[in-house]
Structures are given as structure tokens and as C-alpha cells.
């Protein structure tokens, strides 16, 4: 069997048979990879906890006929340690993993920008650099922006004017003036637009000043679900 080496982050795992798991990974050079991790559910697994969600590993993978097989895994960053201890951080990491799993839909297609964004966000989460909800909200908008869905915030999506931007339409892709607003466009204040802008830019000095406004949070959530065309399950853990 051909072997390849790459580094990757575990996005999710599902049980396979008695002792194995199928691990979904986002790798640096091979994009999304699904591989079997043999024996990981045994207490004496040679992989230990290295193939749990949010671990970043150096991997040796054997190409299989249908599914690849993880042959070796060495931990590069134990993000999972700092994340699994904290419910909010864990929820934020789950949102991020679910989103990138959706955005990078094809397997074995390199997505280096998405990989870089993900490991940056996981590192920030595990070190508690910012509030988990801010990290996942900013991640959501930035990951979607990389995929081509950047909200237009500084001008009306219809006429291009830069003032009177008091509405925001998710299907239309951003801000609207009061003349062009469509019925589904929601009213947004300037502060909310600035907050969204800071999330897209990753402008932490502004974001760290406080908690995210509920309207902004809703827009981020709806933006993600609209453009990924489905409910992001992990997002709703925050609402309950």
C-alpha cells in the first residue's frame, strides 16, 4: 500500500466495528481525508488519545482501496486538552469542525487556507485568548469568506451607496439602503455592522471589548446556515 505523510486536525470520529473508528481529518496538503484508525477504542490503543477530535497530529497514512488507514500518529499540538475541559470552548470547536467539514466537501482536495484558519482558531481557543463565542463567530465568517461568501458591509449590495445602510439581507449578501431593502432584510444598527466587520477581519482589539450582541450572533448563525444550506447542529447548543 502507498503511504503518505501529512499533518492534520481530527474533525470528527465515528465508530466502526468492535474497536475501530473512521476519523475525518482536515490535512495541510491533502485536504479532507477519511481514514480508518484501527484499535483506537481499545484501552491499550497505540494511538492513545491522538485521534480524538481537535487533536493536531503528524500522520502517516496508507492509501486503501476505499478508505485510507492511519498507520502512525504523533501529536503536534494538544489543542484538545485546553478545549475539552471547557464546555463553551468545546462547543466552539465543534461548530468550527462542523463548518469546515461542510465547506471542504470533497476529499483529497488541498485546502491550505482553510487548514491555516482552523489551526489558528483552535490554538486561540485552547489558550483561551478570546471568548470562545467570539472565536467561533469570527471563524464562521472568515471560513465562509475564504469559500467565497463574504458579507458586503460597507456599501449597499444593490446600488453601492455607502450611507444609509440600515438593513442587512442574508440572501442578497450584505448591507442594503432603506430604498433598496427587500422584505426579508433585517434592520441593523451601525454598531452591529462594525461588529460584523471586526469578525470578518479578525479585529481582536475591537472584539475583545465585550460580548457579541445577540443580533450580530444571529446574523452570523443565519449566514453560516444559509450559505452552507443546512442547520449547523453545534450552533444550537449555544441557544439552549
Rounded Cα gap, residues 12 and 163, in angstroms? 44
Rounded Cα gap, residues 72 and 46, in angstroms? 9
Smallest separation (angstroms) from Zn ion to the CB of 176: 6
Rounded Cα gap, residues 153 and 219, in angstroms? 12
Among 115-123, 174-182, 184-192, 194-202, the segment contacting Zn ion (CB under 5 A): 174-182
Smallest separation (angstroms) from Zn ion to the CB of 216: 22
Alpha-carbon distances of 226 from 41, 131, 219, rounded to whole Å:
36, 25, 10
Residue from the set 177, 188, 207, 228 that interacts with Zn ion by CB under 5 A? 177
Residue from the set 1, 159, 206, 211 that interacts with Zn ion by CB under 5 A? 159
Smallest separation (angstroms) from Zn ion to the CB of 182: 11
Residues in the interface with Zn ion (CB under 5 A) total 5
Q: At what angle do helices 132-146 and 87-103 cross, to 10 degrees?
A: 10
- Cβ proximity to Zn ion: between 61 and 177 the closer is 177
Question: Coil, strand, or helix at residue 95?
Answer: helix
- Cβ proximity to Zn ion: between 184 and 208 the closer is 184
Q: Does 156 bind Zn ion (CB under 5 A)?
A: yes
Q: What are the residues facing 25 on neighbouring strands?
A: 10, 33
Indicate the DSSP class of residue 234. G
CA-wise closest residue to 138 among 121, 115, 155? 121
Smallest separation (angstroms) from Zn ion to the CB of 197: 18
Among 94-102, 179-187, 209-217, 229-237, the segment contacting Zn ion (CB under 5 A): 179-187
Residue from the set 69, 158, 170, 232 that interacts with Zn ion by CB under 5 A? 158
Smallest separation (angstroms) from Zn ion to the CB of 183: 15
Contact 208, 224 (CB under 8 A): no
Smallest separation (angstroms) from Zn ion to the CB of 175: 9
**In residues, how long is the chain?**
240
- Cβ proximity to Zn ion: between 39 and 160 the closer is 160
What is the enclosing helix (H) or strand (E) of 206?
A: helix 204-207
- Cβ proximity to Zn ion: between 147 and 156 the closer is 156
Q: Does 180 bind Zn ion (CB under 5 A)?
A: yes
Cβ atoms < 10 Å from Cβ of 74: 11
Residues that bind Zn ion (CB under 5 A): 156, 158-159, 177, 180
Amino acid at each position: 500500500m502507498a503511504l503518505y505523510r501529512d499533518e492534520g486536525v481530527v474533525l470528527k470520529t465515528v465508530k466502526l466495528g468492535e474497536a475501530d473508528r473512521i476519523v475525518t481529518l482536515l490535512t495541510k496538503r491533502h485536504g479532507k481525508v477519511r481514514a480508518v484508525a484501527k484499535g483506537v477504542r481499545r484501552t491499550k490503543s497505540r494511538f492513545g488519545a491522538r485521534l480524538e477530535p481537535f487533536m493536531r497530529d503528524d500522520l502517516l497514512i496508507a492509501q486503501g482501496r476505499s478508505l485510507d488507514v492511519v498507520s502512525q500518529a504523533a501529536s503536534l499540538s494538544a489543542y484538545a486538552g485546553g478545549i475539552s475541559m471547557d464546555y463553551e470552548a468545546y462547543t466552539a470547536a465543534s461548530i468550527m469542525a462542523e463548518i469546515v467539514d461542510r465547506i471542504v466537501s470533497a476529499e483529497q482536495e488541498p485546502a491550505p487556507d482553510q487548514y491555516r484558519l482552523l489551526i489558528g482558531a483552535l490554538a486561540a481557543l485552547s489558550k483561551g485568548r478570546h471568548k470562545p463565542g467570539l472565536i467561533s463567530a469570527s471563524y464562521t465568517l472568515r471560513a465562509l469568506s475564504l469559500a467565497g461568501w463574504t458579507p458586503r458591509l460597507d456599501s449597499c449590495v444593490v446600488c453601492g451607496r455607502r450611507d444609509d445602510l440600515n438593513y442587512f439581507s442574508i440572501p442578497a449578501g450584505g448591507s442594503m439602503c432603506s430604498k433598496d431593502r427587500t422584505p426579508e432584510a433585517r434592520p441593523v444598527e451601525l454598531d452591529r455592522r462594525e461588529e460584523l466587520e471586526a469578525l470578518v477581519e479578525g479585529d481582536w482589539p475591537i472584539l475583545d471589548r465585550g460580548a457579541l450582541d445577540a443580533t450580530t450572533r444571529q446574523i452570523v448563525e443565519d449566514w453560516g446556515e444559509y450559505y452552507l444550506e443546512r442547520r449547523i447542529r453545534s450552533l444550537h447548543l449555544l441557544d439552549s
